[in-house]
């Protein structure tokens, strides 16, 4: 009887930390990994003429794209250069 109690206690001590790690993986790590992949795909598919919003909330139209940066026209004649990773999302239906 003592052996069974000892085995059950050891199993529980091992089960709960493993369960916490599995839950953390599926609720924290995996969604973040998926978000990063989606953002990377979004950044690589940007093209001239897209209307986008930066991480700082600045709205603009892409005028020039190079390997690491994007030039946005934020007003007539006003162009600003940003890092590609600072583009948060595309404004849908704004073309």
Return d(Cα 36, Cα 17) in angstroms, integer.
27
What pLDDT was estimated at residue 12?
75
What percentage of the chain reaches a pLDDT higher than 70? Answer: 86
Class of domain 47-95: mainly beta
Q: Alpha helices of the chain — where are they, by DSSP H?
A: 2-24, 30-44
**What local confidence, expressed as pLDDT, does residue 48 receive?**
94
DSSP for 48-73, written as a single string: TT-EEEETT--EEEEEEE-SSEEEEE
Q: Alpha-carbon distance 4 to 12, whole Å? A: 12
Tokens of 38: 């989606």
pLDDT band at residue 93, thresholds of 50, 70 and 90? Answer: low
> What is the model's pLDDT at position 81?
97
Domain positions in the chain: 1-45, 47-95
């Amino acid at each position: 009887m003592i052996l069974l109690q000892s085995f059950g206690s050891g199993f529980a001590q091992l089960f709960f930390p493993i369960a916490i790690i599995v839950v953390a993986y599926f609720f924290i790590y995996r969604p973040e990994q998926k978000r990063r992949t989606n953002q990377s795909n979004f950044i690589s598919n940007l093209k001239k003429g897209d209307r986008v919003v930066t991480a700082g909330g600045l709205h603009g139209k892409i005028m020039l794209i190079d390997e690491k940066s994007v030039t946005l026209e934020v007003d007539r004649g006003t162009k600003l250069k940003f890092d590609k990773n600072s583009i948060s999302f595309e404004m849908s239906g704004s073309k």
